[in-house]
Amino acid sequence: MAKCSFCGKKIEIGTGKMFVLKSGVVKYFCSNKCEKNWKMNRNPKKIKWTESYRENK
């Protein structure tokens, strides 16, 4: 199982999306919502529904 690179949610095998950057870094996303927020350069620590927000609170 992988973790979503944006929200931190566990992704089941066969679901989600894998995004590979030119630098070779692999990003995993559980939904289009997470992928679009990452592409808009949003900080997951400032978004209430992510795990990193709950950890820093």
pLDDT of residue 38: 97
pLDDT of residue 57: 74
Q: Hey, what amino acid is at 14?
A: G
CATH number, domain with residue 48: 2.30.170.20
Q: What are phi and psi of 34, to 5 degrees?
A: -70, -40
Q: Structural domain tally of the chain?
A: 1
Domain that holds residue 37: 2-56
Q: List the chain residues with pLDDT less than 50.
A: none
- pLDDT tens string 32-48: 999 999 999 999 999 99
pLDDT of residue 23: 97
pLDDT of residue 12: 95
DSSP string covering 38-49, please? HHTT--GGGSTT
How far apart CA 57 and CA 53 sit, in angstroms, is: 6
pLDDT of residue 51: 95
